Chains A and B, each alone.
Chain A
Amino acid sequence: MSAEHGHSPLEQFTIKPLIPIFIGDTNVSFTNTSLWMMLAVIGVVVLLSAGGRKMALVPGRWQNLAEVMVHWIENTVKETAGNEGLKYFPAIFTLFMFILFTNLLGMLPYSFTPTSHIIVTFALAAVVFIAITLLAIVKHGPVAFLKSFLPHGTPLWMAPLIYPIELISYLSRPISLSVRLAANMMAGHTLMKVIAGFIFVLGVGGIAPLALLVAIVGFEIGIAILQAYIFTILTCVYLESALHLH
């Protein structure tokens, strides 16, 4: 019954076209996903340009916030990928800020979370995967790249078994990267909606799910930050393995 009235916990994930655009038969409408991704980009630009405007020696509030984020990701890149990885810091930081803002904007009531859709996270993961594979091939040459799937000191008779395993393990990276982010965001938002559905149904007793919901919202904000960070740190780990090929 509740589904008919549009209160299904999964209804929040439907994509609604806001401005229908068709090129030939291809649907390229401006949807709610597009809108919230655009808002995330605008949010990142506003925050960082507000923080970088003054460049004061003693940072103000905005500058401090921007600096904390930059230093946080800079440290992560340096620790996982080494100083060589710092060359790719702008790309990684952009990725982190985009995911962080789409995740956090999704926590606003009536908003939409683009990162709860696997196609969005898969596109992000595919960009990372293709870029890092190309980087490894360009830096070390295609032969060394193909050889890197065989760990050092593998007996030759084991190679037919080890090689496919290593290859599959390499190819599964974008899958695990994208599924993890999308599943976390979707599960969290569904859970919040389900618990919220109990509040009015239970009347006065609804105070218990309300209290639980408050805790879950805090928990979800933590997950939103953490998942953006995990995506970033794994990108750094993959970057490191592409730079050193082992």
Chain B
Amino acid sequence: METLPPTDSLKARIAKARAGSTPETGSITKDISATSRSLAYAMRLGIEFVAGASVGGVGGYLLDEWLDTSPWIMILGFFLGVAAGFKNMIKASQRLDTVADSATTQAHSITPHKESPDSERGTRP
């Protein structure tokens, strides 16, 4: 029974050490990964838009070839593709808000000093 108080203080000391050490050790890697992550997300939005426009344009072009109506379906398809691209972009940026948060916590769990994956998993919705 006399061993209880030391365990408590140990727990407190561990918590204190953890709180003090994490911001300093992780700051440089966090900086690089945050920059690369936001760059990747920015690039993603651009590609999302271009993919929509090109699928619309190329799809319209192929339909034109098939139906012999050049160039009308391609023009229509391109504009619809641009609309689809904008829609994709808006959807992707909405999703990023939620994904970015979980990616931050997830990306750091790949570092060796991850504590307990099971307790972490249990609390997630």
Q: Are A168 and B84 in contact (CB under 8 A)?
A: yes
Closest to B125 in A: A79
Q: Are A71 and B121 in contact (CB under 8 A)?
A: yes
Given contacts A168-B81, A223-B40, contact A176 B103 (CB under 8 A): no
Please measure, in the bound complex, the distance between the C-alpha atom of A233 and the C-alpha atom of B107, giving whole angstroms: 13
Given contacts A68-B114, A71-B117, A72-B109, contact A168 B59 (CB under 8 A): yes
> Is B83 in contact with chain A by the CB < 8 A criterion?
yes
Task: List 16 A–B pairs whose Cβ atoms lie within 8 Å, in order of A's numbering.
Answer: A69-B110, A72-B109, A79-B125, A164-B77, A164-B80, A166-B84, A168-B52, A168-B84, A172-B85, A175-B55, A183-B43, A218-B32, A222-B36, A226-B36, A233-B103, A237-B95
Interface of B is mostly: helix
> Is A227 in contact with chain B by the CB < 8 A criterion?
yes
Q: How far is the CB of B74 from chain A (nearest CB, A)?
A: 13
What residues of chain A lie closer than 8 Å to B99, measured between beta carbons? 80, 233
What residues of chain A lie closer than 8 Å to B102, measured between beta carbons? 76, 79
Q: Are B110 and A172 in contact (CB under 8 A)?
A: no
| Chain A residues close to B by CB (< 8 Å) | 64, 67-69, 71-72, 74-76, 78-80, 161, 164-166, 168-169, 171-173, 175-176, 179-180, 183-184, 218-219, 222-223, 225-227, 229-230, 233, 237
Complex interface bits, B35-59 against A, C-beta within 8 A gives 1, otherwise 0: 1110010011001101110111001
> Is B112 in contact with chain A by the CB < 8 A criterion?
yes
> Is B106 in contact with chain A by the CB < 8 A criterion?
yes
Q: Are A219 and B52 in contact (CB under 8 A)?
A: no
Please measure, in the bound complex, the distance between the C-alpha atom of A186 and the C-alpha atom of B79, giving whole angstroms: 29
Closest to B103 in A: A229
- B side interface size, CB within 8 A: 40
What residues of chain A lie closer than 8 Å to B48, measured between beta carbons? 172, 176
Complex partner residue of A165 from B35, B40, B84, CB under 8 angstroms: B84
Please measure, in the bound complex, the distance between the C-alpha atom of A175 and the C-alpha atom of B117, giving whole angstroms: 35
Q: Are A78 and B124 in contact (CB under 8 A)?
A: yes
Please measure, in the bound complex, the distance between the C-alpha atom of A218 and the C-alpha atom of B103, giving whole angstroms: 19
Please measure, in the bound complex, the distance between the C-alpha atom of A217 and the C-alpha atom of B57, giving whole angstroms: 37
Given contacts A166-B84, A168-B80, A237-B95, contact A175 B54 (CB under 8 A): yes
What residues of chain B lie closer than 8 Å to A166, measured between beta carbons? 84, 87
Q: How far is the CB of A164 from chain B (nearest CB, A)?
A: 5
Q: Are B59 and A171 in contact (CB under 8 A)?
A: yes
Please measure, in the bound complex, the distance between the C-alpha atom of A72 and the C-alpha atom of B84, giving whole angstroms: 32
